Chains A and B, each alone.
Chain A
Amino acid sequence: MKTIHIFIIFIVVAVAQIFVPAQMIFNKESIINTGTAYRFKTQPVDPSDPYRGKYINLNYDVRSYKTKDTIWERKDKVYIYLETDSLGFAKVSKVSKEPLNLSKDFIIAEVGWYNKIEEELSFNLPFNRYYMEETKAYDAEVAVRNNQRDSIQNNTYALVYIKNGEAVLNDVIINDMSIKDYVEKK
């Protein structure tokens, strides 16, 4: 094969290599710009990822829903339709295996398990990772724990933008302050 042909194929490969991360960015930016913001009450703990660095894992208060439907396979997709409660936090309005024709925002989560006695479906929200600077991740966990001990109500929440079933976790807020700044201040 001639050099120029190899080079042309390489250009195509290179464009693809740029396109994939760029497309991820455009997709997420469009959700942030035009999606609806929701607040999910949460609790962070910190693990780490070999390539992408430290993150805090977020355990959400919204993680189960009572339903009579008993047939759920682990790791299946579940459509979670959302609404907000009186305090402005997100709560589940309906769960379904198929997309429903509702005007509400929804997210696609993963089925955890179904508790037959409680008739309750547990699911994992698809935005449970918040990446932080490595030195701050553990401090963040401690800060949230201390804050929870001091105050009566859990006032840590995740700010999530949602559009067409996709979500971007934009920030984690603790006492009306971004968790990054909160950790620095402490």
Chain B
Amino acid sequence: MNSKIQNDIKELVEEQVITNEVAIDIENFYKSKKTSSPNRLFTVFAVLGSTLVGLGIILILAHNWDDFSRSIKTVFAFAPLIIGQLIVGYTILKKKSATWREASGVFLFFAVGASMALVSQIYNIPGNFSSYMLMWILLCSPLIYLLKSNALAILHIVFATNYACSYGYFDGNQTPWLYLVLLAVMIPHYYHLLKNKKTHNITSIFNWLLPLSVVIVLGAFVNRSEEFGFLMYVILFGLLYNIGKLPFFDNQKLRRNGYLVLGSLGTIYMLMFASFEWLWKDILRHDVEFNSQEFFVSIVLFLLALGILIYSYSKKWIQSFNLFQYVFIIFTIIFFIGISSSLFSTVLINLIILILGIIAIKIGADKFHFGILNYGLLIITALIVCRFFDTNMSFVVRGLLFVCVGVGFFLTNYMMLKKQKSRRN
């Protein structure tokens, strides 16, 4: 039990706030609650341990022991794999604890990678990196379910992202469609977590990891028309934001809701880009190809986001108007106007950012959340800073604007603090 709580209880007993019996009850409650947690800690260390051992083995094998003959090297390649498999088999048969399952699974994961790496080393297979990664991930993906292992699911996402990046960004201009399959493979596991362990920390790790992975990889789906790539990202962030706004996620703490945070930050980031006129001039310069992969990906993402929005409406989840949820629709419309006129879209985008900033301030004020309030102020500040780069304002005006925003920061925060205090009293 936490020593701080123990001290507090002691103090409370001494001050005669609670009786001795109550103190014992409280202690017993905490003791019964704590029984599972050292185990969890042990699991984390076991996973870290086997990750390090696994990576260590890969490095040792990568040394490439020239002095050994080919057959001895081959034995080396299979030894960690067989050992890992034996441990995993034992874990399954004896129905070992979560610690065993996680740790043995992680070890086997790296052993598979090591053995394939060593074989390609022995026979000098140049093997392109992404196909090697793909084979590795696929061979290990069933283990997620056989061992019900979260660590393996995390490794699966991380390596799938790595695969998609090396395939899509570095191996030339290819689209990593198989990444979608890899994601689909781990979705049932994630669904299970959401259903049964909604508030656990492990679930919130996935709530962050999944959208992050998609954000990183989406760019690989852009082939030629980069303008549509821009639209794709705006719609994706809209989709993430709307997922984050589903009551299932929205009712949780903000730090557990990676969808909402990433969606919001991403939307603002993309809009900031779009608030410069050069972007639209750039779009105007190219012919927009409608019969392109990017266009179809954009449509799919758009329909997904729209579907979630309509579904939320039908369930009456959306009570008040929140512009963040509709930005992707407005942006799409502006994007197609932007194909003909750059000035008009630039002005509109600037306006939207301003409104978003004000809305964020309002949400922050309503919820008494200083973080969101200041986020709104930051949006407006960033907008002003961006405008400095492409307008010819006099220094005096710029200075005054900055002073105004600074004063705004103070005033809003001060007013909130005061309001909060008066509410407490």
Please give the residue numbers on chain A whose beta carbons come within 8 Å of chain B beta carbons, in ascending order.
3, 6-7, 9-11, 13-14, 16-18, 20-21, 24-25, 28, 49, 51-55, 74-75, 126-134, 136, 168-170, 180
B residues less than 8 Å from A126 (CB atoms) = 126
Residue contact A24 to B121, C-beta cutoff 8 Å: no
Tell whether, in the assembled complex, residue A51 and residue B117 are in contact, meaning their CB atoms are under 8 Å apart. Answer: yes
B63→A136 contact, CB < 8 A: no
Contact partner of B126 (CB less than 8 A), chosen from A17, A127, A133, A134, is: A127
Interface members, chain B 53-105 (any A CB < 8 Å): 58, 61-66, 74, 77-78, 81-82, 85, 88-89, 92-93, 95
Q: Which residues of A contact B74 (CB under 8 A)?
A: 25
**List of A residues within 8 angstroms of B139 by Cβ:** 13, 16-17, 20
Q: Which of B85, B122, B124 contacts A17 (CB 8 A)?
A: B85
B61, B88, B139 pick with most chain A CB within 10 angstroms: B139
- Distance (Å) between the CB of B151 and the closest chain A CB? 17
Interface residues of B (CB under 8 A from A): 58, 61-66, 74, 77-78, 81-82, 85, 88-89, 92-93, 95, 108, 112-126, 129, 132, 135, 139-140, 142-143, 146, 172
Q: Quick one: given A13-B139, A49-B129, are A133 and B119 in contact (CB under 8 Å)?
A: no
Q: Which of chain A's residues has its CB closest to B133's CB?
A: A51
Known: A18-B78, A24-B125, A129-B126. A52 touches B120 (CB 8 A): yes
Task: Kindly state the separation between the CA atoms of A127 and B123 in the bound complex, as whole angstroms.
Answer: 10
B92 and A168 contacting across the interface, CB-CB below 8 Å: no
**Which 9 residue pairs of A and B lie closest in terms of their CB atoms, listed nearest first?**
A53-B62, A169-B124, A28-B123, A129-B126, A133-B66, A131-B121, A21-B119, A52-B117, A14-B85
In this complex, the member of B81, B112, B121 whose beta carbon has the largest number of chain A beta carbons within 10 angstroms is B121
Q: How far is the CA of A14 from the CA of B114 in the complex (A)?
A: 15
Q: Known contacts being A53-B121, A168-B124, is A24 close to B65, with CB within 8 Å? A: no
> Is B143 within 8 A of A51, CB to CB?
no
Decide if B113 touches A10 in the complex (CB within 8 Å): no
Q: Does A52 lie within 8 Å of B62, measured CB to CB?
A: yes
Chain B residues with CB under 8 A of A129: 124-126
A134 to B65: give the CA distance in the assembly, Å: 9
- Give the chain B neighbours of A136 by CB distance below 8 A: 66
Whole-angstrom CA separation of A9 from B144 in the bound complex: 12
**A3-B92, A10-B89, A17-B112 known; A53+B123 contact, CB < 8 A:** no
Q: Is the CB of B146 within 8 A of A53?
A: no
Q: A9-B142, A13-B142, A18-B82 are in contact. List 17 more A-B contacts (CB 8 A).
A: A13-B146, A14-B88, A21-B78, A21-B119, A24-B116, A28-B125, A49-B62, A51-B114, A51-B117, A52-B62, A53-B63, A53-B64, A75-B172, A130-B124, A131-B121, A134-B62, A180-B66
- A residues less than 8 Å from B93 (CB atoms): 3, 7
CB pair B119–A24 under 8 Å, yes or no, is: yes
* Chain A residue at minimum C-beta to C-beta distance from B58: A51
Residues of B within 8 A of A14 (CB): 85, 88-89
A25 and B124 form a contact (CB under 8 A): no
Q: Smallest Cβ distance from A165 to chain B, in angstroms?
A: 15
Q: Given A18-B81, A20-B139, A127-B124 in contact, is the A133-B117 Cβ separation under 8 Å?
A: no
- Taken together as a complex, chains A and B put the C-alpha atoms of A137 and B421 apart, in Å, by 69
* A21 lies within 8 A of B116 (CB): yes
Min Cβ gap B316→A in Å is 39
Residues on the B chain within 8 Å of A54, using CB = 62, 64
Question: What CA separation (Å) do A127 and B89 show in the bound complex?
Answer: 37
Would you give the shortest CB distance from B369 to chain A, in whole angstroms? Answer: 42
Contact A25 B172 (CB under 8 A): no
- Cβ B172 vs Cβ A74 within 8 A: yes
- How far is B68's CA from A180's CA once the two chains are assembled, in angstroms? 12
Complexed CA–CA distance, A25 and B224 (Å): 39
14 A-B residue contacts at CB 8 Å? A6-B92, A7-B89, A10-B143, A17-B85, A18-B82, A21-B81, A24-B116, A25-B119, A49-B62, A51-B117, A53-B117, A129-B124, A129-B125, A169-B124
CB pair B116 A131 closer than 8 Å = no
- Give the chain B neighbours of A13 by CB distance below 8 A: 139, 142-143, 146
* B127 CB to nearest chain A CB (Å): 8
The docked-state distance in angstroms from the alpha carbon of A24 to that of B112 is 14
Docked CA distance A51–B142 (Å):
22
Per the bound structure, the CA–CA distance linking A144 and B92 in Å amounts to: 53
Q: Which of A25, A136, A170 has the most CB of B within 10 A?
A: A25
The answer to whether B126 and A128 have CB atoms under 8 Å apart is yes
How distant is the Cα of A148 from the Cα of B78 in the complex, in angstroms?
39
Neighbouring A residues of B113 by C-beta, 8 Å: 51
CB-CB under 8 A from B115, the residues of chain A are 17, 21
Q: Cα distance A24–B126 when bound, in Å?
A: 13
B60's nearest neighbour on chain A, judged by CB, is A53
- A16, chain B: closest CB distance, angstroms: 6
State how many angstroms separate the Cβ of A100 from the closest Cβ of chain B.
24
CA distance A129 to B124 in the complex (A): 6
Q: Which residue of B lies closest to A135 (CB)?
A: B63
Partner of B124, one of A3, A7, A10, A131: A131
Contact of A24 among B63, B81, B123, B129 (CB under 8 A): B123
**For residue A9, which residues in chain B have a CB less than 8 angstroms away from its CB?**
142, 146
Closest CB-CB distance, B86 to chain A, in whole Å?
A: 9
The answer for the CA separation of A18 and B79 in the assembled complex, in Å, is 11
Inter-subunit contact A21/B146 (CB<8 Å): no
